Chains A and B, each alone.
Chain A
Amino acid sequence: MKKILSIVLACLMVFGMVACTTGGNTGSNSNGKVKIGFIFLHDENSTYDLNFINAAKEACEKLGVEYVLKTNIPEGQECYEAACELADAGCNVVFADSFGHEDYLIEAAKEYKNVEFCHATGTKAHTENLPNYHNAFASIYEGRYLAGIAAGMKLNEMIANGEITEDQAKIGYIGAYTYAEVISGYTSFFLGARSECPSATMEVTFTGSWYDETAEKEGAMKLINNGCVLISQHADSMGAPTACENAGVPDVSYNGSTESVAPNTFIVSSRINWVPYFELIIKAAQNGEKIPTDYSGTIQTGSVVLTELGKIAPAEGTQARMDEVKAELLAGTRKVFDTTTFTVNGETVTSYMADVDTDAEYQGDHEVITNSAFNESAEGFRSAPYFDLRIDGITLLDESY
């Protein structure tokens, strides 16, 4: 019987060695073809990762390049190892999609100098001085602002129908963490809504996780019980849309349409379209061009998009109004973080030092307010959001994360 065991083990070893050599052969990718590897925090059950996965497949298939998708890679050494495995397997470009992947991707970038490493939502490329390490994000705050327009119009409709009074126009928002990316997101959404419905207020709750279906569902229930009449989210599960559908409360989601789970309550969803960026990095690898250190996609580049409106929930004329505002944003006549449209502790903000260069003391290092607007994700700063002002009208229910 021990023989059987040792034979089994020996077989495993031999198998391993065979696999080893074949793996090595495919690994040497010297024929000039581009191969790109992707690292995802979760899998397609997460709306956030699904958005990246779809874009990765679309861009790679369009440009006809070989690609490898690695899902469920935690934000730890596993990310470094996944990145190295992809580089070993002959990838010229390695991309990771989650904030906590950044440090590990940097470690891999230091080791594999001739492989390009690109990271979404990260903050360190502009201070790390690694030629093969890059950050990318998009001006999603503009998308959220437009989604906020749709939300504001829904609130107005509810007021006009006598369902709620003006004072009851309270929005609920489920955020993941209390950091700039989320703050920038919910503030822009709120400013969009309030530009349509001036009496709007908002309550925000945090789940402490990017993907926690139960917590997001419970968060939505809590907000609804608190009297919120419209819900939005910056967390990646179907928890909140499902809770809204069950309670019959209109919902503005994120990362993509959630109409399939919430046909009666879905209004609209903003999302980042990563195809333009993926195409850019693949083409750069093909032509030996430089990838920008910080890439910030915009409405113009097609990186910031809104889904189709829901069939039932949206207010009359929402699409037309959103298109109007979008045109104003494109023309520069309207700015999302226009400092005349909000106050902090009752006062207009005229100067703010944002923490653009990440450090352990969270020290502000860049003046970001010019021409009475907060310059979010702007040229010369970094691509990831750094708007973290707590503006009036928004109440944070908990800040433990």
Chain B
Amino acid sequence: MKKSKSEPLFHITKRDVMPWYKTWGIRAAAIVAALIVCGIITTITTGLNPFSVYASFVQGAFGSGRKVWITFQNMSILLIISLALTPAFKMRFWNIGGEGQVLVGALATAACMILLGDKIPNVLLILVMTVAALGAGAIWGLIPALFKAKWNTNETLSTLMMNYIATQIVAFFTVVWEVPKGSFTVGIINQATNAGWLPQLFGSKYLLPIVIALAVTAAMYVYLKYSKHGYEIAVVGESEKTAKYVGMKTGKIIIRTMILSGALCGLAGFLLVGGINHTITTTINSGQGFTAVMVSWLAKFNPITMIFTSFLIIFLERGAGEISTNFGLNQSFADILTGIILFFIIGCEFFISYRIVFRKKKETTSEK
């Protein structure tokens, strides 16, 4: 009991024991409560009917065939980044560097497209882009992991700072590749030739990231749940000392897992540049490396649940944009609503973990 008080992280691990339907029930209740609060605030501040605002939310995400596709496309990128962070989080390695890992992946992809576009066959180019993006992301994940494994540096700080380094490197290359000079805009790469653009799947430009995201989800689920690696990650996450005691090479596991984490972030960067934006900017990832932290946590590091949590975030985001368009409200108002909803959802997670602590107390006393 004493131990759990001084090390609150362990509570969260124990939370998995709680029946899943209860946690989902609490979450559903939180969403309902959030919608009620949002409704009251909407009516008071804007005089609008909250139900038409909510309908707008839905319309923003599903209002037309294209909107549905865009929603799922955005969701798939966020899902991939969340999945990428998950093995690290499960290992209790706080990889806050998703943003930077995605950015370097994106930068490597853009570099290949700009430097090799039209010089080598497209199939080969895309292959090179893939390798470069995954490699760049992996290196960006590897560096903090090495420091952690060798010198036990604080990975939260080092991964966070790697983000800023990545942003500045991208800014530097934006100036190198900008067109016209001084505009700080690279523009669409290979717009005339489409060299290095990822192919459309069944005639849809939105499908490819979605398919890849689903494949990664399934693979990550199997990897974490059924593979030896996954088991090792879980053990290191539970207790590094236990892992060492049973003869696991924790340093190796940390490094291996962060390479995987970084490489998957690189994959997201690859899709962002090669498949979606076809350009490189410092804001191409629009903070999703951080949003993914929330997505992964909300899903309790469960890849399947992450489909829903990433959907929730993207749904709110798309809806928020629609509200500002339909009602002529400032985007900030929609963001306030999104903030309230997220506050309730995240707040209820704390509530859930608190209850677990309470329960464990009882168990320990009864055991004694």
Contacts and interface: CB of A to CB of B under 8 A. Distances in A.
Closest 3 CB pairs of A and B: A179-B182, A16-B62, A1-B25
A71 B324 contact: yes
B185 A20 contact: no
Using C-beta atoms within 8 Å of the partner chain, give the interface range for chain B.
35 or more
25 contacts: A5-B24, A5-B28, A12-B62, A13-B62, A19-B59, A20-B62, A20-B65, A23-B64, A43-B324, A69-B325, A69-B328, A72-B321, A74-B286, A76-B279, A76-B281, A88-B64, A103-B191, A106-B188, A177-B184, A179-B184, A183-B182, A360-B179, A401-B175, A401-B182, A401-B184
B283 A74 contact: yes
A400 B175 contact: yes
A362 B277 contact: no
Contacts of A214: none
A263 interface: no
A123 B180 contact: yes
Interface of B: 21-22, 24-25, 28, 31, 55, 58-59, 61-68, 70, 171, 175, 177, 179-185, 187-188, 191, 276-279, 281, 283-284, 286, 315, 321, 324-325, 328, 330-331
B42 to A, nearest CB: 18
Contacts of B276: 77
Contacts of B281: 75-76, 100
Contacts of A8: 28, 31
A292 interface: no
Contacts of B70: 81
A4 B58 contact: no
Interface of A: 1-2, 4-5, 8, 12-13, 15-17, 19-20, 23-24, 27, 43-45, 68-72, 74-77, 81, 84-85, 88-89, 99-100, 102-104, 106-107, 123, 177-180, 182-183, 208, 355, 358-360, 362, 388, 400-401
A74 B287 CA distance: 13
Given A1-B22, A77-B276, A182-B182, A103 B187 contact: yes
Contacts of B328: 69
Given A2-B24, A4-B25, A81 B188 contact: no
Contacts, number: 129
Contact of A208 (B22, B184, B277, B325): B184
Contacts of B179: 358-360, 362
Q: Is the interface of B mostly helix, strand, loop or mixed?
A: helix
A16 B325 contact: no
Contacts of B191: 103, 106-107
A76 B64 CA distance: 21
B55 A19 contact: yes
A177 B63 CA distance: 38
A19 B66 CA distance: 13
Contacts of B68: 16, 20
